Amino acid sequence: MLYTFWEDFFYYIEHEGFIRIINLFWYYFYIEAPRFLVFDLIILGVVLFTSRRKQKVYERARYELLAENPLVSVIVPGKNEGKHIYKLVKGLREQTYTNLEFIIVDDGSDDDTYIICRNLIENGMIDMYLRNEERGGKASAANLALRYARGKFVVHVDADTSFDRDAIERLLIPFYVEDNVGGVGGNVKVRNYNDSILTSLQAIEYLQTISVGRMVTSYLGIYKIISGAFGAFRKDVLDRLGGWDIGPGLDGDITMKMRKLGYKIRFEPKAVSLTNVPTNLKALSNQRLRWSKSLVRFRMRKHSDVFVPQANFNFSNFFAIFDNIFYNFILDMTWWFYLINLIINNIDFLMFIIPLKFLIYTTAGYIQFFVSMALSERRSQEWKLFIFVPLMTLYTGYYMRVIRTMAYFKEIFWRSSYYDAWNPEKTSRKAMEIGI
Amino acid sequence: MAGAIITKLPNNYNREVGYISHYHELDIRQLALYDGLILDYTDQQGCVNLLRQCRSSFIGTLYLLPIFIYSIDKNIDPIAESLSDGVVSSLQVEGVIGKIDKIRNKQVNLAAIDSVSPDIRIMTKVLRFLYTRETRLTPVVNPNSNIGYFYPILSEHYKNGDLSELFKILDDGIQKEYLRPRFVDRLHLCSNCYSGFINFRETCPKCNSADLVTENLIHHFVCAYVGPEHDFHSGDYLVCPKCNRMLRHIGVDYDKPSIIYNCRNCSHIFQEPVMEAFCFNCQKKNPVEALIDKQIYSYELTPIGEETAINGFGREIREEFELPGFITFTTFNIFLKYEVERAKNSGRISSAGSLILSMSDEDRNRMGPGYRKLAGEIADFIKNATFSTDILSFVNNNTYLIISPDSEPTRLQNLLENIRQSVHKLLLSNLVGYSFNLVPKVVTISSDKNHSDLINQLITP
């Protein structure tokens, strides 16, 4: 029986021919593969080819940073992060870059954050602990920290993140490599990748979309999101912008605002932080719904002016958002038509098409995985993830598409991000009132 | 100034009731002859002073003497009133005789007590005062006291620096069930000097300065800007510095989620100032949690207390420690009595002396068991410096007594002075941070002296 299936399967491929197969999976071969596989491979090749030359510039920038030794404010806004705070501060105090001030903003926590932070203050482990009895939302907490930060640079971190010892030093170097850099995003990897299959899949996803994907977009000058978990900003630029606006998606929003002011945004893959990702499907779905809604709310609505030819028009900003909207929103919508079309027109051959599609995506997945491994600084731990690569077809190919589509519809038709409990109702109401 | 004037008030009750209107150069010893006194309050200071002198005496006939204040003015110093047995507005004996009789009748029940321990003597006074008056020991608010309260009879024996001793004796009274407490107030006292004169203030956690300014934080909902209120001030209006919108309605446009402290000394920004308790008395800066939490009670005599007031104590309140080579106080008393008798028979002169180790309660408590060691070291020194014929004793945990038979007082005076100086030299360098003193006293043992008087002279600081 099995033998007969594979005989028929290979007969089907042989019969269809290479060109027809490519045309059958046009969505992948004409749209996704050029952007996420071929293009990435070319750019990475260029990056690696020029890396030795850039090493000198990098070393000089590092020397300049250490010679100037500017004060850097590490700000940690959050609510109910008590269980993470002590480990976070202990970890940050291990950094190779030491001229740091630590500011924790407690946004109306009702856990032990207050007791823990008081203890940290009393022991001189943090410089400032600010507490809002009334929750104001993450943006307001970050802005409060910004108001009292004294550093030349502000490093925004999430409380559940941990860092390589040299992470902050490496995060700051790009400011000295080039002029006019407004912000630098750090590399975010998954700490709890061993917890479940779901966290392992997210670990692979982070490697592909953050570690590799952002390296590419940064090289092309269209890097558009400095992760809230680990990113550095010039304090004077943040002050000029008035800090963060209401989220969700405030990290992407502030990055876009900086880009619009003409500042360069860079990604530093060697500045590595680790974060915990959701361990169950419900939490992950909620997180991704929130992230995807922000694409509509911020990229398509708030920053839609980047598409308008005007005095401040900038091609890299245009492409940064276009890339995002096209590949995430437009192609996500068209994918459903492609899928339905594929099914209807090939209903008799679905038994062959499904495994073939799976085979193609898995092969591509392995190519991407090996590329990310080639670039990874902790491949000895991460290579074990290779057994999960085949499941990525289901994870990114179906699950994520469903979530994204749901989020887009919810946000386009019902503006549901304004009702998200992630923000306090008082701020969401005002944001909706004035349409931001 | 005219001398003291005591007028005997005529009455048919067979009681000697004196009326005092002038207090200058008054010898209180003569007052013991009276059954009761009425003090004129016109010379307020003189009246209060006399009351305090009487009540601070250890002589029963003085501190238990019924004393009334004569004043037509209702405005009497509460401390004076608490020390008196009442205020009268006429000089008629009829008005006070009932109370005098009651006190005197109770006074006759009291057995003689021959104790030298100050604690016992003070506790006896308190118990007997309460017994004869059938009253409570009620604290009176007193701004001049470090603890803010004055206990009639009791407080007279404790200077502001010794208030821990006052609490100790009252606690002893409760523990031994002489007194039953009733809550009056709760105090927070300086851990160093037991003073309640404390300024609670917020200080900077970084530099301890109290020069702080506080400000509200404002959160503007629309643009998520958060900053101190002065960021938003624009004339009479509040305008967001980030988005330039005017703030109109608290709770709708904006709120004030917390306050922020700014230290003007070191520019530190914080929200949790450190509360500090500054003692005006000793100028110590106490952490609030280090303050002594003390309850102030009024005290009522229990049946055991009444029994003790009448018959005296079965045992000493505080444990005394003995020093090797020093005889007990009882034996010392016998020797002294014998020496007085010998002086009467032979006409010879001997001398007796004391060295009182004076140290504040606070230092003594701080020293802990080291105090006992210190007392032992001084004892060794005294032993080595005196003759083998001298008789040595130690009492009250602080008084070294010496009988020097057939010796002139001047010789003993010189000897004690030398000991004092030598001990000072020796111990000063070892007792950094503590202040202490050795006070020498010498009396002549002659045929006309009574041994109890001699003892009283020697042990009274």
Q: Is the residue at B47 inside a domain? A: yes
Q: What is the average pLDDT across B429-455?
A: 80
CB contact under 8 A, B271 and A130: yes
What residues of chain A lie within 8 A of the CB of B219, using their CB?
132, 134, 136, 140, 144
Out of A121-125, A165-169, B30-34, B330-334, which region has the weakest mean confidence (pLDDT)? B330-334
Report the C-alpha gap between A142 and B411 in whole angstroms: 84
Q: Does A129 touch chain B (CB under 8 A)?
A: yes
Q: What is the average pLDDT across B197-215?
A: 93
Is it the case that residue A418 has pLDDT exceeding 60? yes
What pLDDT score does B316 carry? Answer: 45
Please give the ipTM for the structure prediction. 0.85
Report the C-alpha gap between B358 and B437 in whole angstroms: 5
Report the C-alpha gap between A255 and A244 in whole angstroms: 10
> What one-character DSSP code corresponds to residue B196?
-
Of the candidates A118, A140, A434, the beta carbon closest to that of B272 is on A118
Distance from CA of B57 to the nearest CA of A (A): 53
CB contact under 8 A, A143 and B253: no
CB contact under 8 A, A129 and B272: yes
Name B25's Cβ contacts closer than 8 Å, sequence gap at least 6: B3, B4
Average pLDDT, chain A: 89
Q: What is the average pLDDT across A107-122?
A: 91
Is it the case that residue A80 has pLDDT exceeding 50? yes
- Looking at the structure, tell me whether residues B245 and B344 fall in a common domain: no
> What one-character DSSP code corresponds to residue A240?
H
How many independent structural domains does chain B possess?
3
Q: Does A147 touch chain B (CB under 8 A)?
A: yes
Of the candidates B223, B251, B269, the beta carbon closest to that of A128 is on B269
Q: Is the residue at B419 inside a domain? A: yes
CB contact under 8 A, B224 and A134: no
What are the boundaries of each domain within chain A?
A: 1-68+160-436
Interface mutation target, options B204, B217, B218, B221, chain A, most CBs of A under 10 Å: B221
- Looking at the structure, tell me whether residues B350 and B427 fall in a common domain: yes
- Looking at the structure, tell me whether residues B262 and B342 fall in a common domain: no
What residues of chain A lie within 8 A of the CB of B287, using their CB?
none
Is it the case that residue A342 has pLDDT exceeding 50? yes
Structural tokens at position A323:
């890339």
Nearest to A64 by CA among A211, A192, A232, A178: A178
What pLDDT score does B115 carry? Answer: 66
What pLDDT score does A162 carry? Answer: 94
What residues of chain B lie within 8 A of the CB of A148, using their CB?
269
Look up the domain containing B5 and give its range. Answer: 1-108
Q: Answer with the residue of higher pLDDT: A431 or B364.
A: A431
Compute φ and ψ for A267, nearest 5 degrees. -115, 135
Report the C-alpha gap between A293 and A277 in whole angstroms: 19
Question: What CA–CA distances, in Å, run from A141 to A72, A181, B3, B254?
Answer: 18, 24, 80, 14
> What one-character DSSP code corresponds to residue B208?
-
- Looking at the structure, tell me whether residues B348 and B451 fall in a common domain: yes
What pLDDT score does A71 carry? Answer: 97
What residues of chain B lie within 8 A of the CB of A242, using their CB?
223, 225, 241-243
pLDDT digits (tens, 9 = 90+) for B220-275: 999 999 999 999 999 989 999 999 999 989 988 999 999 999 999 999 999 989 99
pLDDT digits (tens, 9 = 90+) for B279-328: 998 899 989 989 999 999 999 998 888 888 888 876 444 455 667 778 87
Domain closes at, from B230, B247, B272: B272
Vertex B202 angle, CA B197 and B208, to 5°: 100
Out of A299-303, B56-60, B258-262, which region has the weakest mean confidence (pLDDT)? A299-303
What's the pTM value of the predicted model, to 2 decimals? 0.70
Q: Would you give the distance in Å from CA A227 to the centre of its chain?
A: 5
- Looking at the structure, tell me whether residues B455 and B334 fall in a common domain: yes
What pLDDT score does B315 carry? Answer: 46
> Is A103 in contact with A125 (CB distance < 8 Å)?
no
Q: Is the residue at B133 inside a domain? A: no
Q: Does A144 touch chain B (CB under 8 A)?
A: yes
Q: Does A143 touch chain B (CB under 8 A)?
A: yes
Vertex B201 angle, CA B199 and B205, to 5°: 140
Report the C-alpha gap between A187 and B49 in whole angstroms: 84
pLDDT digits (tens, 9 = 90+) for A243-287: 999 877 889 999 999 999 999 999 999 999 999 999 999 999 999
Q: How many helices (H) and strands (E) in chain B?
A: 13, 23
Average pLDDT, chain B: 86
Nearest to A332 by CA among A381, A388, A387, A403: A403
Name B219's Cβ contacts closer than 8 Å, sequence gap at least 6: A132, A134, A136, A140, A144, B225, B226, B254, B255, B256, B257
- Looking at the structure, tell me whether residues B266 and B364 fall in a common domain: no
What pLDDT score does A39 carry? Answer: 80
Domain closes at, from B253, B272, B291: B272
Report the C-alpha gap between B51 and B152 in whole angstroms: 11
Is it the case that residue B1 has pLDDT exceeding 70? no
- Looking at the structure, tell me whether residues B254 and B338 fall in a common domain: no
Residue of A nearest to B243 (CA): A242
> Is B271 in contact with B261 (CB distance < 8 Å)?
yes
Q: Is the residue at B187 inside a domain? A: no
Is it the case that residue A320 has pLDDT exceeding 70? yes
Residue of A nearest to B274 (CA): A122
Q: Is the peptide bond before B405 cis (omega within 30 degrees of 0)?
A: no
Distance from CA of A61 to the nearest CA of B (A): 32
pLDDT digits (tens, 9 = 90+) for A151-179: 999 999 999 999 999 999 999 999 999 99
What pLDDT score does B317 carry? Answer: 45
What pLDDT score does B335 carry? Answer: 85
Q: Is the residue at B157 inside a domain? A: no
Q: Is the residue at B417 inside a domain? A: yes
Distance between start and end Cα atoms, chain B? 31
Q: What is the average pLDDT across B387-400?
A: 83
Domain closes at, from B272, B290, B318: B272
Percent of chain B with pLDDT over 70: 95
Q: Is the residue at B149 inside a domain? A: no
Is it the case that residue B435 has pLDDT exceeding 90? no
Report the C-alpha gap between A341 and A347 in whole angstroms: 10
Q: Please, where are the H alpha helices in A181-273?
A: 197-206, 213-220, 235-241, 250-260
Which CATH number is B84's domain given? 3.40.50
Is it the case that residue B451 has pLDDT exceeding 80? no
Beta strand B198-203 with B399-404: parallel, antiparallel or unpaired?
unpaired
Q: Is the residue at B307 inside a domain? A: no
Q: Answer with the residue of higher pLDDT: B452 or A127.
A: A127
Percent of chain A with pLDDT over 70: 99
Tell me which H or E stretch contains B182: strand B179-189
Q: Answer with the residue of higher pLDDT: B359 or B403.
A: B403
Name B400's Cβ contacts closer than 8 Å, sequence gap at least 6: B326, B354, B355, B356, B357, B378, B379, B382, B392, B393, B394
Of the candidates B222, B226, B255, the beta carbon closest to that of A147 is on B226
- Residues on B contacting A at a C-beta cutoff of 8 Å: 205, 217, 219, 221-228, 231, 241-243, 251-253, 255, 257-258, 260, 269-272
Compute φ and ψ for A415, nearest 5 degrees. 45, 45
**Which residue, chain included where needed, has tokens 């057939």?**
B406
What pLDDT score does B437 carry? Answer: 80
Is it the case that residue A197 has pLDDT exceeding 90? yes
